Structure 1
Amino acid sequence: MTGVPSTPLTVVAALLVSAAVAVLSARRGGALHHVVLAAWPDLLPLPPAALAAGLLGALSYGHEFRYPVLQHALGAAPRRLGLLAAKLLVTAVLALLLGVAVIVVDLEALRLVYGGPLIPVPVNWPGLCTAWAGLLVGCGWAGLLAAGVFRVTAAGVAAVLSVPVLVAPLVERVLTGAPARAATGLPARLREFVWARRPQETDHWLEGAVRVLAQPVAAALALSLAALLCAFLFPRLRRGAGG
């Protein structure tokens, strides 16, 4: 986090690129407010903040395997779950802070360039916040796990980019088929099962989370995380079974 210049440079670059993309998206017109604030036009597979979160996650393992002394020491040692949990926690916190900073910077950039009143808060803001946080944290974890599996930073970045480019179209094709139609009413059943006597505020957040998981990109990201986590833990489980 603090021992190498990659972290602050990546954060600053994400803020600058996000502000520029948000200003250009607002100038074109026709885009929704939350799309402009997230700096995620249709031309980009992922917003700059998500790419930066994935890069920061990949660097957390990529820097360790970059230097020969550390690579030799860590290569012979078993993968420690405590170290993985710490990296996942730090990456998630950093991704969430980056997401908040990007929204604030983009909002101020739009006010500075175009002026006018503040962007109104949408009615479905719990779902939008859940989607934004899940996207950033998921991309950060995908980059971290891929870099830990393949022991190179580029693999983490490639894993993040493959989610919207390769995995999401396949998941969307599956979700639009017959099995997806059989799951009609699943959000309502989940709410009744988990929150029999739920507060009204919690219901909004749960509904937002379920709607997010139903999206192809979110489902693809969840599947990618599960596959990478299994690939990361497989050598440890194999050594434990062999011992």
Structure 2
Amino acid sequence: MAFPEPDSPCCTMSADPTPAELPPGLLEEYLQSARGQLQLLAQLADRLAARNDDVEALEALRREVHKIHGSAGSYGFWSASRLAAGMEETAKDWAARPGDTEADRGSLARWFVLRLAGALGLEAPISTPAAPQPGPASMPADRPRAGPETPEVILVEDDPALAELLSYGLQSRGYRFRLFRNGREALDALLALDSGEAHPLLLLDVDLPALDGYSIFDTLQRERPGTFRVVFTTVHGNEAEQLRGLEAGALDYLVKPISLRVALEKIRRWVGR
């Protein structure tokens, strides 16, 4: 799989504004430490690119990502913290199943390093290219995101870090998909979509700008009943929140932070491939 360069447009993520109350010099110390963490993460990504089931590298990756998840938000880097939260869940799954080599862990870890560097406003360390590992014969080839065919998966998500993570996973599995970041734009496109006899899977964030996920769902139920199979994504994983959507006709819920491996396995079952 081709991997984007650190300065390419798809890898640009502006750093969040940092808290004004930080003592002088403290932010610089944190960023200096973060540079070291990025370098270590890049080395771990190289190890996983060379050997997908490197148990020590998997555990070290989980530990380092956990540290970033806990510290980045304290310095105002909320995008980095959310990105690390998703990667931490994925790293936990990898560490628990080191022999499951379906995912290209090295490429995903390298992608994470690039995105994390952008979220922190730092230059990404240079990874050493490794020969790609052969994947399972049954794994579908990559397909372009856009095309004349009806998308199998439609992702409506305003969190840039999570949107990038899920987009990467969907692309790596060869799904036809579309991504929307704004609720109103998503609804307009969904109402106009010619889906034919297909019933695309709609991963719908509950908390969206312009129009929330429940409002989108209600409108689709009225205007295009039965067209989309809806799965809500939300940080509100309590029982009442989930029952609200399920009783209204949603297929399921994905609670954030989302493990990429778990999400892709569920998507495989929902889509049927």
TM-score above 0.5, yes or no: no
TM-score (norm 2): 0.29
TM-score (norm 1): 0.32
Q: Which has the higher strand share?
A: 2
Q: Which has the higher helix share?
A: 1
